[in-house]
Amino acid sequence: MQLGLILEPPKTEITELDEIQKILKAISKNGVSKILFCLEKSPKRFSQIMFETRLNPGVLGRHLKSLTELKVVRKNGECYCLTEVGVSVLDILRRFRKLAEIMREGN
């Protein structure tokens, strides 16, 4: 009987597609686009974002944590702001809004 070695596949870095899928999953959650549009003009404190988006603190906290981990949002002191990635994501959301308008007009 011959014993073979079981080799683990090499660990690979997360691909760009995986990163894109994570961002799409995050922004598809209810309330996330509100957060991004809220941060569009200026950095805001947690309470300001909560007031403007009308999200409860637990949901807002989870979304901000996820967005921070994905480098879409960054916390500077007491305020949250969009990163370069966040600005790009916001641009994509605007394009989706435009697409939705075109689709509504076509019906």
For 18-48, what is each residue's pLDDT tens digit?
888 888 899 899 999 999 999 999 999 999 9
SS3 79: strand
In the chain the domains, ranked by start, together with CATH numbers, are: 31-106 (1.10.10.10)
Alpha helices in 1-107 (DSSP H): 16-27, 32-38, 46-53, 57-69, 84-106
Residue with tokens 């995986």: 18
Band (pLDDT 50/70/90 cuts) for residue 107 is low
pLDDT above 90 covers what percent of the chain? Answer: 68
Q: Is the per-residue pLDDT at 104 higher than 70? A: yes
pTM value?
0.79
